[in-house]
């Protein structure tokens, strides 16, 4: 093996059987979970679904939590983490939860970051050029606002877990609790800068003017239109898939525990 290969591991992503994972999620989505697929809302059109989604209803006073993953088809840890959490019954009764477990299925078929026509959906939440994102945004607009949103991703450039927190009003937030929970199962990237952005013990706090940005990812859309507290969770692709899935699941669990309080 050449030295460069030793020094710079190249992530090619373990393909997963996305249908198998989504079947596991569908089987685990027993009441009070209900199906709430991301689909075209115009009644004049035939019902077309672009992504599976579920809502967990609650009879109790509750917070509203939104989870999504599978925007990038070469990041299998997110859908796997959702399957594990739902099978484990991790979701409390006092939270109303929406889950989109795979927003880019055609990317998973090709094990590629982009969708089937080569578009990175994480650039399209302002331009709305892809059917996947147009339909998803229309679905999101029909939902109430969320108390907290979590977008589950992987990053192949870092050796540890980190997160982005968008919290423009500086409300109480579980960022540090997420990091300490994840640290039990996965290394944290504690660099002073991550992807050239200042970071503090695995947390990037960032909220620029979204309207100065031409390309919005999902988290920017959510922070602009749907929530005061938005997280993007980044598991390190260089570590084994089981570790990445455990890291993302631990982060979600930390937030579910926090909303109980």
**Part in contact with Zn ion (CB under 5 A); list of ranges 40-48, 69-77, 82-90, 157-165:** 69-77
Contacts with Zn ion, 100-139, as mask; x by CB under 5 A: ----------------------------------------
Of residues 72 and 136, the one with the C-beta less far from Zn ion: 72
Peptide bond into 32 cis (omega under 30): yes
Q: Is the separation of the CB atoms in 163 and 231 below 8 Å? A: yes
Closest distance of CB 236 from Zn ion, Å? 12
Q: Which is nearer to Zn ion, 75 or 147 (CB)?
A: 75
- Interface stretch with Zn ion, choices 74-82, 84-92, 181-189, 214-222 (CB under 5 A): 74-82
Q: What residue is closest to Zn ion based on CB?
A: 153
Of 62, 72, 136, 244, the one binding Zn ion by CB under 5 A: 72
Listed residue (27, 67, 127) closest to 248, CA to CA: 67
For position 153 contacting Zn ion by CB under 5 A, the verdict is yes
The stretch near Zn ion (CB under 5 A) out of 101-109, 123-131, 151-159, 206-214 is 151-159
The span from the CA of 188 to the CA of 176, in Å, is 12
Q: Give the number of residues in contact with Zn ion, rule: CB under 5 A.
A: 3
For β-strands 148-155 and 162-166, DSSP reports them as: unpaired
The least CB distance from residue 169 to Zn ion, in Å, is 26
Q: 129 Cβ partners below 8 Å, 6+ apart?
A: 119
State in angstroms the smallest separation of the CB of 120 from Zn ion.
9
| Shortest spacing between CB 114 and Zn ion, in angstroms | 11
Shortest approach of Zn ion to residue 232 CB, angstroms?
Answer: 8
- How far apart, in whole angstroms, are the C-alpha atoms of residue 156 and residue 10? 8
* Cβ at position 249, least distance to Zn ion in Å: 17
> Is residue 244 within the footprint of Zn ion (CB under 5 A)?
no
Question: Of the ranges 32-40, 64-72, 76-84, 96-104, which one interacts with Zn ion (CB under 5 A)?
Answer: 64-72
Interacting span for Zn ion (CB under 5 A) from 6-14, 70-78, 218-226, 243-251: 70-78
CB count, 10 Å around CB of 222?
A: 26
Give the span between the Cα atoms of 35 and 56, in whole angstroms: 9
Residue 156 in contact with residue 197, Cβ under 8 Å? no
Show the beta-strand stretches assigned E in the chain. 33-35, 38-39, 49-51, 54-56, 63-69, 95-100, 148-155, 162-166, 193-194, 197-198, 203-205, 230-236
Cα separation, 116 vs 157, in Å, equals 24
Helix, strand, coil content of the chain in percent (nearest 5) = 35, 20, 45
Interface positions, 174-213, toward Zn ion (CB under 5 A): none
Question: For binding to Zn ion (CB under 5 A), which residues are involved?
Answer: 72, 75, 153
């Amino acid at each position: 093996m050449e030295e460069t290969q030793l020094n710079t591991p190249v992530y090619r992503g373990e393909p997963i059987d996305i249908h198998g994972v989504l079947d596991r999620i569908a089987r685990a989505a027993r009441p009070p979970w209900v199906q709430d697929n991301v689909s075209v809302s115009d009644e004049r059109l035939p019902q077309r679904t672009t992504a599976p989604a579920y809502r967990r209803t609650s009879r109790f006073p509750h917070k509203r939590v939104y989870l999504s993953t599978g925007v990038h088809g070469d990041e299998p840890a997110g859908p796997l983490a959702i399957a594990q959490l739902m099978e484990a019954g991790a979701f409390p009764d006092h939270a109303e939860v929406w889950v989109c477990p795979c927003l880019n299925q055609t990317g998973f078929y090709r094990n590629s970051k982009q969708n089937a026509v080569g578009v990175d959906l994480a650039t399209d939440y302002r331009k709305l050029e892809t059917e996947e994102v147009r339909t998803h945004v229309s679905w999101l607009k029909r939902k109430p606002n969320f108390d907290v949103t979590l977008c589950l991703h992987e990053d192949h450039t870092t050796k540890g877990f980190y997160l982005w927190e968008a919290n423009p009003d500086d409300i109480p937030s579980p960022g540090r609790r997420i990091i300490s929970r994840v640290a039990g199962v996965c290394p944290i990237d504690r660099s002073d800068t991550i992807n050239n952005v200042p970071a503090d013990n695995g947390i990037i706090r960032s909220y620029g003017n979204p309207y100065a940005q031409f390309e919005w990812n999902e988290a920017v859309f959510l922070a602009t239109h749907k929530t005061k507290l938005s997280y993007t969770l980044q598991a390190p692709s260089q570590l084994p898939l089981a570790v990445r899935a455990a890291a993302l699941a631990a982060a979600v669990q930390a937030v579910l525990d926090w909303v109980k309080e």
